[in-house]
Structure 1
Amino acid sequence: MAQTAMSRLFVQSTSSVRQSILRPAQVRSYGSKVIPTFTSTPSTELNEALERFRNDLFIPLGLPKRQQKSVFKPKYATQLEHEPITVTINKDEKFTLTPKLRHELPSKKEALAVLDMMVATGDFSNLFAFVSAMRMSNYTINSNRWQYIIRKVSAAGKLNQIVEISLAFFSTNSTTPQCGQTSSGKKPLYARNLAQQVALLLDAPEHSAKGINNDPKYQPFVIGTLLELNAALGLAMSDKLDPSKTDQSVKAESRNIRDYAQKLDASWSRGNFKNDGSTPYETETRLQENLAIYNGMRLSLQWPKASLATESFQARCDELKPILIEQLNSTKNKQLTEDKVAQQLKAEA
């Protein structure tokens, strides 16, 4: 089972979808990276923390590699101190580069403390921009804290924030470990229900993009992840049942698997599965998406009652497999290479 099953739902499969979701007032593009611009909050402490992260972490790590070298390479420190370099982040803002040491950058622990401040103040206006920049900086949030944030944001009546965050950010620990192989369906059930809640939120007019090709809920990745979760849950349920008996919940899962399988097959032409990302970030995103789709098809093939809807899936899996292996060989992201499905693919290569 792919280790990021639940949270991979929240990554979009095309750059056009991503751009339609990002709020221009809060995220600035610099090349392939995003640099956040935070809005003022009633909390002075939170404002200062956000500004520190922006200036000391997010902007330096969002710069092109050549300029990052000027900031982080000790041999350029003296030169940079005497001959400051000013770069244009966007048409309205310039930033002066200063020497920095990577081990002195704001830590992940401090970033999590900023999230806690947002929860404590109830001000989530910068949450989307902050977690997007965290992801760009390779600062991950584990599933327990991610669920905690979702609960707090939901309690504050900010469900739209959850959708926006989810579409830009994925946590690295699965809420469905060993999905499809567990002795209990509780964890797959929880993850599936949470994913479907987000899918329902995507149906809201404010989150529906114009045109089927730009709407996330019609993308193979979103459908494939929902298929993955339902197929895993169905398998976990069926492992516990007496085959001589019928179970209404299993029948319901069979219908869900069949429905999502049909939708995935119908959406296939809208997907981009190739290893053609222009940056490592894009390549890793494509890999995450492909893992979700591949595992969704692989698991659903083990569900015979959905066989008519999955008859094309073996060929689809065979098509994706060499692409996934190539993408896995080109990434150094351990969170991806240690994924169980990824390991199985590499072992079969």
Structure 2
Amino acid sequence: MAQNAVGRLFRSHNATTTLRQSVGSFTQQRSASGRALPHFRTADTIEVEEALDRLREELFVPFGVGVRQRRLMFRQKYAEKLAQEPVTASVGDEEVTLRPMNPHTLPTKNEAFEAIAHMKTYNDWRNLSPLLSGLKMSNRIVKPSRMEWIVRKAGEADALGVLLGCARRAKITGMRLNDVDLVQRIFFELHRKAQRAGFQGVEASKALSFARQFTEMMESPDHVEHDITRDPKRRPFVIGTLLELAAARALSEFEGKDLKGEVRVYAQRLLACWKLGNFDREEKDWVAIDRMLQENVPILTGMKLALQVKGVSSDRTVSLSLKSHSDKLATLVANQAKLAPADVQANPSLGLQQARILLEEQS
């Protein structure tokens, strides 16, 4: 019926209201929904800037206005009238001009992902949150595997801090921390950030701060997972990475002292959730094996660092249990690293890279 009403608007020769006045009621109805268009910062990379402009004007705007307004923009029979008599619509607190558009030439999700692939600077990456919110508003679903890819790209660009902002706005970005694989990717990238800094200095401290914030966020309603067996924050890779980063800070900044008992607490929690880890499954597929390495290398590193921290090493019960678990896990990591195919040995995958670094440090 709404479509017929719009059609009559253009067919009637005796209408006393203008197109602008007729659309006004649609605009007011849309404003009441509270939806707002994403706003982008000026990007440093020209390809990113151009892609974000196109996505905003040609995808996010038409999906930000109401359904009937969108029909005015998309249907060819209204194009000439709309071009002759432009109207504006309210989206949140912003006024946008409706214009004729071809729905078959709208930007695709792949164009958004290409923009992310071109992001180089932190300033570029600060546009990730509004980009994800625009995609969600436009009903473009970002698959979990693609979200993991985004996390990996952010890690490579040393822009993990922007992910915190995305997670804080989970309702509009879709980045929820209740998916085990996504959280595992985030914590692996935090491990890599600290590892690149030799587990020392500002970058390692930042990694620990980020890890704490992600963990705290997983307690909030937007992220909580009530099924204990599927709860990411209870998995050893989360606790193990926290242990790794906290132990590294104790060793590099506090002369190996566990000043607040934090390292010891993380060690105890790791041992308590050990049964939920990915330690015993036998895999023959290298992709799955490499995934296990990415999960387990930070845990193993965390245990080895923790055993050097005063307060952990002096607790006989905890230290003996850590030593026993770390010895078994070290054997598993070493054996799995040997299973890499020849082409992977020549061009190491992420898990193999980290396993080699750890094994070389031990030798």
The TM-score with structure 2 as length reference comes to: 0.55
Contact 2:177/2:224, CA 8 A, preserved across alignment = no
Distance 1:286 1:338, change over 3 A: closer
Q: Which has the higher contact order (CA 8 A, sep 6+)?
A: 1
Give secondary structure in 1 for the equivalent of 2:160: helix
> Using the alignment, how far apart are the partners of 1:347 and 1:235 within structure 2?
16
Where do 5+ consecutive residues of structure 2 fail to align?
A: 1-54, 64-105
> Using the alignment, how far apart are the partners of 1:217 and 1:324 within structure 2?
23
In the other structure, the counterpart of 2:160 is 146
Residue identity in the other structure for 2:299 = I
Q: Does 1:177 align with 2:195?
A: yes
> Using the alignment, how far apart are the partners of 1:289 and 1:276 within structure 2?
15
- Shift of residue 197 of structure 1? 1.0
- Shift of residue 127 of structure 1? 9.1
Residue identity in the other structure for 2:259 = K
Contact 1:216/1:222, CA 8 A, preserved across alignment = yes
> Using the alignment, how far apart are the partners of 1:206 and 1:118 within structure 2?
16
- Alignment length (residue pairs): 246
In the other structure, the counterpart of 1:163 is 177
Distance 1:347 1:305, change over 3 A: closer
> Using the alignment, how far apart are the partners of 1:163 and 1:52 within structure 2?
23
In the other structure, the counterpart of 2:251 is 235
Residue identity in the other structure for 1:266 = A
- Shift of residue 210 of structure 1? 3.2
> Using the alignment, how far apart are the partners of 2:334 and 2:147 within structure 1?
27
- Shift of residue 259 of structure 1? 0.5
Give secondary structure in 2 for the equivalent of 1:272: coil
1:271-286 map, 5 Å: 271-274=277-280, 276-277=282-283, 279-286=285-292
- Shift of residue 123 of structure 1? 2.4
Distance 1:164 1:115, change over 3 A: farther
Larger radius of gyration: 2
1:190-201 map, 5 Å: 190-201=206-217
Contact 2:237/2:295, CA 8 A, preserved across alignment = yes
Distance 1:219 1:305, change over 3 A: same
Cα deviations by residue, 1:302-349 (Å, 9 ceiling, x for unpaired): 01311323321111111011211222233434333333x533415768
Contact 2:133/2:172, CA 8 A, preserved across alignment = no
Cα deviations by residue, 1:218-245 (Å, 9 ceiling, x for unpaired): 2111111111111111111124x9xxxx
Residue identity in the other structure for 1:177 = Q
- Shift of residue 178 of structure 1? 5.5
Distance 1:110 1:164, change over 3 A: farther
In the other structure, the counterpart of 1:92 is none
Contact 2:208/2:246, CA 8 A, preserved across alignment = yes
> Using the alignment, how far apart are the partners of 2:132 and 2:269 within structure 1?
42
> Using the alignment, how far apart are the partners of 1:201 and 1:334 within structure 2?
30
Distance 1:153 1:321, change over 3 A: closer
In the other structure, the counterpart of 2:273 is 267
Contact 1:181/1:235, CA 8 A, preserved across alignment = no
Structure 1, 113-122 or 207-216: larger mean CA deviation: 113-122
> Using the alignment, how far apart are the partners of 1:120 and 1:108 within structure 2?
9
Q: Does 1:327 align with 2:336?
A: yes
> Using the alignment, how far apart are the partners of 1:206 and 1:116 within structure 2?
22
In the other structure, the counterpart of 2:259 is 251
In the other structure, the counterpart of 2:145 is 132
The TM-score with structure 1 as length reference comes to: 0.56
In the other structure, the counterpart of 2:352 is 337
Structure 1, 293-302 or 127-136: larger mean CA deviation: 127-136
> Using the alignment, how far apart are the partners of 1:111 and 1:321 within structure 2?
37
> Using the alignment, how far apart are the partners of 1:192 and 1:316 within structure 2?
23
Give secondary structure in 2 for the equivalent of 1:163: coil
> Using the alignment, how far apart are the partners of 1:118 and 1:43 within structure 2?
17
Distance 1:187 1:279, change over 3 A: same
Structure 1, 218-227 or 125-134: larger mean CA deviation: 125-134
In the other structure, the counterpart of 2:326 is 317
- Alignment RMSD (CA, Å): 4.1
Contact 1:294/1:320, CA 8 A, preserved across alignment = yes
Structure 1, 150-159 or 290-299: larger mean CA deviation: 150-159
Contact 2:244/2:305, CA 8 A, preserved across alignment = yes
Where do 5+ consecutive residues of structure 1 fail to align?
A: 1-40, 58-105, 242-246
